[in-house]
Chain A
Amino acid sequence: MYELFIAIRHLTSRRRQTVLSVIGIGLAVMILMVSQASIVGLNQVLYTSIVDKIPHVIIKPGPDEDHIYLYNSFVEDIKNIDGVIGVSPVLFGQATFEYKSHSRNVIMQGIHVDDHDSVLGINGYITHGSFRDLEMSHNSVVLGDALADKLDVKIDDLIDASFPQAYPATLKVVGIYDSGTPQDESLAFTSLSTARDFFDVSSVVNSILIRVDDPDTAHLVSDSINNPGVVASSWMETNPEILQLSKLKSISNIILMGLIIIIASFSMVSTIFMMVMGKTKEIGMLMAMGASRRSISVIFLLESGIMGFIGPVLGVAVGILICLQIGSITMDMGEGSFGGESAFPFIVRIRDAVVIVLFTFILNLLGGIIPARRASTLDPVEALSSE
């Protein structure tokens, strides 16, 4: 394998150019690795912080129905579906809350506290009082913190609830929660029975919320629910923008980073080109010594292959180090759903590293074909007499 012997010598004899080319590719790959890890990490945050806070499947009444009837046995059936870890029947509607001179239109949701907690983990959001008290006393309510601020109410205050076609009621504030989302301004929880009395309905609900253990399989669960009179939809259908956003981000990242790598590969190809130009005589002499055209092109392909492999491997390694370093620094993210002390969510996937290295390697090899072909098609007589 004298081709490898020559290729390695060419690279080591021009150490500066070789190192610069390798660094060029390595830097591009490093940026790609860091960027990819951050995109994957951000998508993960998006999942845990957004998908985690919404029901994975929502069942609503069919087009001609207002309510879901006989829901109790239905809920039992849903609980038996593989992957379902929480089911919460809900009766919700609009209401106007008044306290002293303040008045707000809200969404009032009647829930079973334990069921609803199993779907949305609401107990974790409570800041004052308790969700449990909803089921201890009739006509009690838990408000979002922003809504409580707007109405200027505190625990134990009494709110007047009313709405056309509803039975007015006086609700006692037994808890205040903070989910960190805009719903804190408009969503109030009561028990199912309080909601039924208020909206004047019998033993019905108008939605059933489901949590599954793997959000990515929510559509399978929703597809398996096809009872008459109801419509089930997964979070992918109700919130398609979440998936679209993460896909768009990934695609735009790949395009941008792909371009950076192409530029870096271009500079490497031009290095090989310069090598071929500077070695025309040498190529002619190798041909005179009996090196075949194939061997000549193999020499230069090996050169681009070697640089195109070492560069990405180093780039990925440094990129992973950077991710680990930055990922270990915690920062104060301020208020909101991502709030508190947390580190930037880099996620390094071995699969990404392998794909990046392979992609860059193949790109460089393809780029190397051009100068290698040029070298192998030189005329030995002209090459030997070139200046």
Chain B
Amino acid sequence: MSDKKKIEIRDLTKIYGDGVEVRALDGVDLDIEKGEFLAIIGPSGSGKSTLLNMIGILDTPTSGTILLDGIDITTASQRQRSKIRNQKLGFIFQYHHLLPDFNAIENVMMPLLINGIKKSKAKKIACEMLEEVGLYDRANHRPNQLSGGQNQRVAIARALANNPDIVIGDEPTGNLDSKSSDIIYDLLRKLNKEHDQTFILVTHDERMAEKTDRIIRLVDGKIVENSKVE
């Protein structure tokens, strides 16, 4: 039954603060199917990014479980978490977070090298990825020689380099003008279809959310809307 479900979130709660308690997430239940393209939306401070960080195992919940392929990732060891992040997850942030000392192709190679893949093979894969995001001709440019949209495309290529099951985007178009945003959105959508990867995007942009398969709306750490987009 659960073989098609990639992510099962049960009663996920995150409480911040020692003195003044802040419930960033409050008993969230959510199932995400393989290959879904969904948007998490909500006002600032609603817990969107916190939820995303939990799914990306960058952060640990106060209580509750997240099953990834049936394995509870909230209790995984540091080493396991690093391995899962490297092989099963791809991250795209609002800011591209490319390593400034490395050129585009080296940045895309990085998750592959961390995965223990040989440099020559990593370079080959990175070339293909750059081609897929349309930046093969910029392979040797460093981040400061590329535009914001281009850098974000390099970051997408990097996120997809290890062919992850799940791609997590935290406001991936938040820093871009609408034209660049559309390019990025179309790219993500295309990749989602081609690779059958699960895409989970946090966004402010209702217009962009409308173009996904499903919208999860969070308010005060609770899911208030979970609806398929027609």
Known: A288-B91, A290-B83. A380 touches B101 (CB 8 A): no
Of the stretches B51-59, B64-72, B184-192, B200-208, the one at the interface is B51-59
Q: Which residue, A284, A292, A293, has most C-beta atoms of chain B within 10 A?
A: A292
Known: A9-B102, A282-B100, A381-B59. A290 touches B93 (CB 8 A): no
Known: A9-B102, A285-B99, A289-B85. A295 touches B56 (CB 8 A): no
Cβ-defined contact, A5 with B93, below 8 A: no
Residues of A with C-beta under 8 A to B79: 292
A5 to B78, CA, bound (A): 23
Cβ-defined contact, A292 with B78, below 8 A: yes
Question: B156 CB to closest chain A CB, in angstroms?
Answer: 13
Cβ-defined contact, A9 with B91, below 8 A: no
Q: Which residue, A2, A13, A282, A291, has most C-beta atoms of chain B within 10 A?
A: A2
Known: A9-B102, A380-B58, A381-B59. A290 touches B115 (CB 8 A): yes
Residues of B with C-beta under 8 A to A289: 85-86, 91, 110-111, 114, 158
Q: How large is the interface on A (under 10, 10 to 19, 20 to 34, 35 or more residues)?
A: 20 to 34
Cβ-defined contact, B85 with A290, below 8 A: yes
Known: A5-B113, A293-B78. A288 touches B101 (CB 8 A): no
B87 at the interface (CB under 8 A from A): yes
A196 at the interface (CB under 8 A from B): no
Residues of A with C-beta under 8 A to B56: 288
Known: A9-B101, A285-B97, A384-B93. A290 touches B114 (CB 8 A): yes
- Chain A interface main SS type: helix
Residues of B with C-beta under 8 A to A384: 58, 93, 97
A281 at the interface (CB under 8 A from B): yes
B227 at the interface (CB under 8 A from A): no
B63 at the interface (CB under 8 A from A): no
Mark interface residues in B102-119 (1 if CB within 8 Å of A CB, else 0).
100000001101110000
B62 at the interface (CB under 8 A from A): no
Known: A9-B101, A10-B101, A285-B99. A291 touches B114 (CB 8 A): yes
* CB-CB nearest in chain A for B59: A381
* CB-CB nearest in chain B for A10: B101
Residues of A with C-beta under 8 A to B83: 290
A287 at the interface (CB under 8 A from B): yes
A4 to B49, CA, bound (A): 33
A6 to B110, CA, bound (A): 9
B145 at the interface (CB under 8 A from A): no
Cβ-defined contact, A2 with B99, below 8 A: no
Residues of B with C-beta under 8 A to A290: 82-87, 89, 111, 114-115
Q: Which residue, B59, B89, B97, B115, has most C-beta atoms of chain A within 10 A?
A: B97
Residues of A with C-beta under 8 A to B53: 381
A288 to B88, CA, bound (A): 11
Residues of A with C-beta under 8 A to B102: 9
A356 to B111, CA, bound (A): 39
A382 to B15, CA, bound (A): 16
Mark interface residues in A5-19 (1 if CB within 8 Å of B CB, else 0).
110011001000000
The 11 sampled A-B contact pairs (Cβ below 8 Å) are A2-B114, A10-B101, A13-B101, A284-B97, A285-B93, A285-B98, A286-B114, A289-B158, A290-B86, A293-B78, A384-B97
**Given A287-B58, A381-B58; 7 other pairs, CB 8 A cutoff:** A282-B100, A285-B98, A285-B99, A287-B85, A288-B97, A289-B111, A290-B83
Q: Which 3 A-B pairs have the closest CB atoms?
A: A290-B86, A2-B113, A13-B101
- Chain A residues in the interface with B (C-beta under 8 A): 2, 5-6, 9-10, 13, 281-282, 284-293, 295, 380-381, 384
